Amino acid sequence: MKPSNGNSSLPRVGYVGLGIMGRPMAGHLLSAGYPLTVFNRTRAKTALLAAAGARVADSPRAVAEASDIIFTNVTDSPDLEAVILGGADKAASIIEGARSGSIVVDNSTVAPATATRIAALLEKKGVHFLDAPVTGGEKGAVEATLAIMVGGDEKVFQRTLPLLQRLGKTVLHVGPNGAGQMTKAINQILGAIHLCAMAEAIALAKAAGLDPEKTRQIVANGAAGSWMLTNLAPRAIAGDFRPGFKAGLQNKDLRIALEAAAQLGLDLPITQLARRDFQRLVDMGCGDEGTQAIVKTRGKQ
């Protein structure tokens, strides 16, 4: 990350939530010259960005007051509501500091209903909202190759597109508020099912006495190939469970997907099985490990 003091001709940007994904994403915006103000509950996580030229605020409200475009990246729906709308300390929330005409862009993965509710409340104050969840894991965040699915007003999307293109390789407007989060739910369903399939394939290869890595190499280059087989299976086979994306978060995302489906009257039995497996992994105490740890729920590892 190159130090930057910002470019006064660019919009002022804020970023709230500097975890595995948020910190490198905020760093790309700072490196691009955007004047950046950041906040994180654990202040130590702001140190790298501060050293590169970012201003550190003492609350989400202070970030909003200093910014034209405010990004958020937190864990779950209640966390996002607390940051934007206010929890115990409503005075410290983004909605209290944002001005009419400013834009809030949420990179979290939350319930579609949460996104539409927040958008409606911000609109009453003249503040625009985009739900813009991302996929690609820590590697995608670090390399700025994320896929970003955006819900909200098309014109507002176009205003933020130059910034989003600093964060991801594929950026698409997918519909009104809530559509971004619904698209992310679909992404998480596919990813989780592919992970479970990967785990069963590795378990069978081991049980049959096959070399799991050679098996992975050949099937990954045929019709059964997937992103999970290419990127996460080698780590699973090697016993490397460091998180690029945590299993506990995947479990949370499957809950969101199933709740959204239920609200639409849709039954997703395979997704329910995947949720069962990730819940089991969390119950095993592996929620902070990478999603590739799903192999621990299959056979003798």
- CA 147, 16, 62, 48 dihedral sign is negative
CA nearest neighbour of 255 among 134, 95, 110, 81? 110
Per the CB < 8 A criterion, the answer to whether 230 and 263 are in contact is no
Please give the C-alpha separations between residue 141 and each of 29, 71, 103, 104, in angstroms, as whole numbers. 12, 14, 21, 19
Annotated catalytic residues are 184
User: How far is the C-alpha of 178 from the C-alpha of 256, rounded, in Å?
Assistant: 13
Q: How far apart are CA 129 and CA 107, in angstroms?
A: 11
Q: Report angle CA 19, 194, 275 to the nearest 5 degrees.
A: 70
Name every residue whose Cβ is closer than 8 Å to that of residue 197 and which is 6 or more positions away in sequence: 226, 228
**Rounded-to-integer distance, Cα 112 and Cα 184, Å:** 9
